[in-house]
Amino acid sequence: MKKYLFGLGALVAPSLIGAMVVTGCGEDGDDGGLPGLGDDVCGPCGTIATGDVGISGDARLDGFFEALGNMNSATLTIQGDFEANIRALAAVYDVEITGAIDAEVVGQVNAAIQADIEANVSGSLSVDYQPARCQANVSVAVDAQAKCEAKAGCEVEVNPGQASVTCEGTCSGSCEGTCSGNFACEVQSGGVACEGQCEGACTLETAAACSGTCRGTCNGTCSAEDGNGNCQGKCDGTCQGTCELSVAAECSGSCTGKCLVTPPSGGCEGSASCRGSCEGSCTGGCEGNFTPPSASAMCDASVDCQASARAEANASLECTPPQLKIDYAFAAGVEANAQAEFTARLAELKVRGVAIVQGAAKYQALLTGEVNGEVVFEPSPAAALATSLRGFASASAFAKFDIPAAKITCVVDAVAEAGPILTRLTTGTTTNLQAQAEFVTAFTGGFRAGT
């Protein structure tokens, strides 16, 4: 990395910094009486760490610096929150932690939680888990594209809030074109029959199989019951009442929530939104690679702006909270005060566990491109950003950017600052990824032996 940083300075500085003798800034950051230089050019250099967005003075380049700052901040926050939540759970379950948080420490916390469950629960926890979904924010990409083109002197004609992108993955929102895929059309359902798959709750007037939590009568074995003997857990048989679905499934009764249907040949109709492949323009979110639209009919900077806008959107990707329901029945002989204490510990575990799972989903998506074990972003946002920024390690790479001479040293410093950040993102996060995976696997599996 030191060779890389030195090489950058050696390549960039000699050919560009000399121009500062003619168009540099005067003392105390004034413009030296030179026309065209203002406070945004002659002020102090911005830094990636502080989130400054005008480091180079060219939006096509500054978009990458801003994306790196956002990604660095997001991953550091997730890592810090994860470690704080693990330490809090360790305190709840009387596990002493003396060093850094790694997979071994998380394993100790998991073992304590598992022991607590085995001591108080009959059988095991019944966990219905719907994983988090991560996608790039289309509005961030479109807004960044429009601002970049405007700063490049192009006439912007598109309202970013109403624009869309070309999505190569799964479109979540409106598809101006043809939406395709199994159960790719999403319709809000308020307790009516659903001819596809129901995501939410299914009211069953006639007993049927339930892939979730059965609340009512279970004609079979129920994992947990209330004081009146009604099923409040998984039903190994048929359920009559309400089935709270853990994942989208067929509903033979009435569906409350969302109804997913396979679109006809023309795509989704009426008020239905798309949750599949969009052969057209996608507005909302995109799970996978995408291309922002140009906001100007003719703009030479469009391609470079698209690259930086894509980087900004991927660095700011959003993940929905996972859906989690935990059911259990106390073991015989567990006294009332012990039940109350266990319930309190479990409530703390659920709150912190859901936060960890959501953070881990974003952490994994940013660094590896994977969401729920599937590659969604290829290459990963971190790898794509590293490739782009390391491509600037030459004087020729800067030739296409309009960098004021007074900003050249700022750019050199910023790329030097980027080096250690990129190293941390690409090679320095392995320990935390492993530790997060250790907890997520156990938590979503109900802390059963072997998970």
Instruction: Check pLDDT > 70 for residue 334.
Output: yes
* Within-domain flag for 267: no
* Within-domain flag for 250: no
* Within-domain flag for 168: no
Instruction: Check pLDDT > 90 for residue 54.
Output: no
- Give 386-396 pLDDT, tens digit per residue: 998 888 766 67
- Give 121-160 pLDDT, tens digit per residue: 988 888 888 888 898 878 888 888 988 998 888 888 755 5
Specify the number of domains making up the chain: 1
pTM: 0.79
pLDDT band at 14 (very low <50, low <70, confident <90, very high): very low
Q: How many C-beta atoms lie closer than 10 Å to residue 378's C-beta?
A: 13
At residue 42, the pLDDT reads: 62
- Give 373-415 pLDDT, tens digit per residue: 899 999 999 999 999 888 876 667 777 888 888 888 898 899 8
* Within-domain flag for 16: yes
Give the domain range for residue 387.
2-133+321-444
Please report, rounded to a whole number, the percentage of residues in the chain having pLDDT higher than 90. 48
330 phi, psi to nearest 5 deg = -70, 145
* Within-domain flag for 262: no
At residue 22, the pLDDT reads: 34
